[in-house]
Amino acid sequence: MRQERLEYLQKKYESRLNTVKDSDMMANVSGEPKRPKGPAMGPGRHGKQSMAVGKPKDLGKTMGRLFSYISHEKWKLLIVCVCVIGGTAANLAGSYMLRPIINGLTSEEGSVAFLMKGILTMLCIYLVGVVAQYLQQRIMIGVAQNAICKLRNDLFEKLQKLPVRYYDTHNHGDTMSRFTNDVDAIGEMLNNTVFQLISGTISIVGTFCLMLYTNVWLTLITVVMVPVMMKAVQTVGSRSRKYYRAQQAAIGTLNGYIEETVTGQKIVKVFNHEEESKEEFEYLNTDLRNKLVKAQFFGGIMGPVMNGLGQVSYSLTACIGGLLCVLRGFDLGGFTVFVNYSRQFSRPINEIAMQVNTIFSALAGAERVFTVMDEEPEAADAENAIRIVTDEKSEKCYYVIPKDNEVTGMDGFTDDVIKEDEGFYYKEVKGAVTLNDVTFGYKPDKTILRHVSLYAKPGQKIAFVGSTGAGKTTITNLINRFYDIDDGLITIDNIPVSQLERDSLRRNIAMVLQDTHLFTGTVRENIRYGRLDATDEEVEQAARTASAHSFIMRLEHGYDTMLESDGVNLSQGQRQLINIARAAISKAPILILDEATSSVDTRTEKHIEKGMDRLMATRTTLVIAHRLSTVRNANAIMVLENGEIIERGDHEDLLAQKGRYYELYTGLSELD
């Protein structure tokens, strides 16, 4: 029973370990992409356990692309290479200096002065090596961090250009792991690994050559022991990696369980599941202990095994070398130097073997980063796209329409042109929204909206009511051009949204979403996020409009109160009020409210409605609501089911029709 429970828990949390894979999120029944309710959990959030592992798919291409980030500093890399060669050569030469010193001391010419001269020479050689290694590290760290800084910047800039579709279909935690685990692995490789490989290779070649020069027969004995040592490393290492992977999986499972349980501690207490939680934690903790013991054991015996084989090699070399000194006249200095070389010959081989794994891990991480960079960005605006500008004096918004844009040929286009100047027409933005026979699906085989047509005149409030998945939020996504429609036409003031610059379009649409999100910063900064050039007075006025001013003034530091972790020190309703204030401060002529009052109580909702009425007086407003009481005063209510508008009219009209809206309002049926 205990083992079955453990296997169940491991399976339950194993998805949290897949941070090295892109995970396409399942679509819900409507075809609209689900969004994760929180960050992905797993080893990547608790250290570096989930670094990318395995080999990259295209080693050469990935390596070439990665090193392009440091190729512009060639002269620094050249200095580093010289320092690596110089430092390694100095260490080898310093070790070899023992031979003439010892031979000199054992001859008739030996003296204290000779010894001091030899020691000073060795000191100078080693000092050169120390300086070379210092310069190598100092320069390479700067080069590597410059590259990592640019890589992070490029990745972040790319994320800003990706369409909403990417975020709807990719796990947020996995995307964040590109900035942390993957980039850290790349930085580690650039900082140390590459030039450690160069240094290790030079050290092996140099040591082997000096060993051959010193004594061929002893070299053969030392080389014969290398395959034995490598076989031992392979045998122990394979067992160690097996248990290490199991250990990492157990760590991820336990960390995921801890985080989920701590986050949902209130639910645990509500349903009185403390004992079950303790029992499950004990299962996972005991499993981790058992795997840690095995992993640490096999990881720990690597050193003793290598030391033991090294001692065997050293003893064999020393014995045979001693015999050569006695029987064949091998000089004592050469014997001492060779024994020293035989000790260190296998060390760079082991280090190189370990660094190769690190390089593959880093390149696999780089490939994941470049995969994001290669994602298709949002389609570029047309060369003659229409911009929207704001007149600072009147604070009115105007379309700036190139004369060669296709909309200039539409019937009645010149009727409301304000002025004509230097190849552009200027029209005032009023905010009339029209959908004409719009059809759309997130996937080619799944249609969400079917031939939807509606219009909202400037200043009107249009409400959408319907079951989950009916397509209400999809309509607002299309107006913002988060997605492009499959068929039909969406216009604002008779201008197709496809002809508008995306930035201009979205700057002129304010949104309040059901899921609140506040940034780390003060209350004032979060409200000002709606319009960065807003004054403090405008911030406070926006808060009053959203009925947020009174509770903000009761905070410890008022508008300068610091918010962290998405505003955990505020209630859900207060967070939503700040979100509404953020939209209120925007001068956008179009306002979209996606179940904006669903997270507040009835009393707060009435305060918000008063403020929203003031806010919506001069704006075209599209409202998505589950509470039908919030849409009674809408100019028109659209009832959607299965992607189609089945009823439309104001509150009284729909009640008179005694259809779906009537059933919902009177409680005869409920929203699915």
Mapping DSSP onto H, E and C, the string for 348-407 reads HHHHHHHHHHHHHHHHHHHHHHHHHHCCCCCCCCCCCCEEEEECCCCCCEEEEEECCCHH
Q: Are 587 and 533 within one domain? A: yes
247 within 8 A of 295, measured Cβ to Cβ: yes
The whole-angstrom separation of Cα 185 and Cα 177 is: 11
Domain closes at, from 429, 460, 494: 429
Asked if residue 366 is part of any domain, the answer here is yes
Q: Domain check: are 547 and 451 in the same one?
A: yes
296 burial type by CB count under 10 A (0-12 exposed, 13-18 middle, 19+ buried): middle
45 part of a folded domain: no
Place of tokens 């303790």: 278
Residue 88 has what pLDDT?
Answer: 85
Q: What is the structure's pLDDT at 56?
A: 60
Q: Is residue 672, in this structure, part of any structural domain at all?
A: no
**In terms of domains, do 320 and 356 share one?**
no
Question: Do 601 and 635 share a domain, yes or no?
Answer: yes
Are residues 210 and 220 part of one domain?
A: no
pLDDT at 2: 59
Rounded mean pLDDT for each run of 10 residues along the chain, 672 residues in total: 63 47 32 35 36 60 86 88 88 81 68 79 89 89 90 91 85 77 85 79 84 83 76 70 71 75 76 81 85 75 70 77 78 80 74 72 85 88 86 82 84 79 88 93 88 91 88 90 91 91 90 81 91 90 87 92 83 85 87 76 69 74 82 89 92 90 80 60
DSSP annotation string for 193-241: IHHHHHHHHHHHHHHHHHHHHH-HHHHHHHHHHHHHHHHHHHHHHHHHH
Greatest alpha-carbon span in the chain: 123
**342-372 pLDDT, tens per residue?**
777 777 776 776 677 678 778 888 888 898 8
Strand, helix or coil at 10? helix
CATH of the domain at 444: 3.40.50.300
Residue 49 domain-assigned? no
Domain span including residue 398: 387-429
Question: ∠536-539-543 over CA atoms, to 5°?
Answer: 140
Contact 635, 623 (CB under 8 A): no
Closest CA to 548 of 629, 507, 607: 607
Q: How many CA atoms lie within 13 A of 643 on its CB side?
A: 17
Task: Tell me, yes or no, whether 233 and 320 share the same domain.
Answer: yes
Residue 413 is encoded by which pair of tokens?
């286009």
Q: Whose CA is closest to 280, among 267, 263, 270, 268? A: 268
Residue 397 contacts residue 376 (beta carbons within 8 Å) = no
Tell me, yes or no, whether 26 lies in a domain: no
Q: Which residue type is seen at 355?
A: Q
Angular region, 74: left φ>0, alpha ψ -120 to 50, beta rest: alpha
In this prediction, residue 604 carries a pLDDT of: 67
Asked if residue 269 and residue 175 are part of one domain, the reply reads: no
Domain-embedded: residue 21? no
Distance of CA 219 to the CA centre of its chain: 51
Closest CA to 501 of 392, 405, 368: 405
First to last CA, the chain: 39
Question: Are 510 and 642 within one domain?
Answer: yes
Sheet holding 397-402, edge to edge: 387-390, 397-402, 424-428, 417-421
Residue 432: both structure tokens together: 């009339």
User: Closest Cα partner for 203 from 289, 78, 304, 96?
Assistant: 96
Question: Residue 524: what pLDDT?
Answer: 94
Domain-embedded: residue 461: yes
Number of domains into which the chain is organized: 4
Residue 52, SS3 per DSSP: coil
Q: Do 363 and 458 fall into the same domain?
A: no
Q: How far apart are CA 173 and CA 632, in angstroms?
A: 40
Same domain, 480 and 611: yes
What pLDDT does 34 receive? Answer: 37
Same domain? For 474 and 616 the reply is yes
- Cα–Cα distance measured from residue 79 to residue 535, given in angstroms and rounded to the nearest whole number: 53
Residue 5 lies in a domain: no
357 lies in the same domain as 270: no
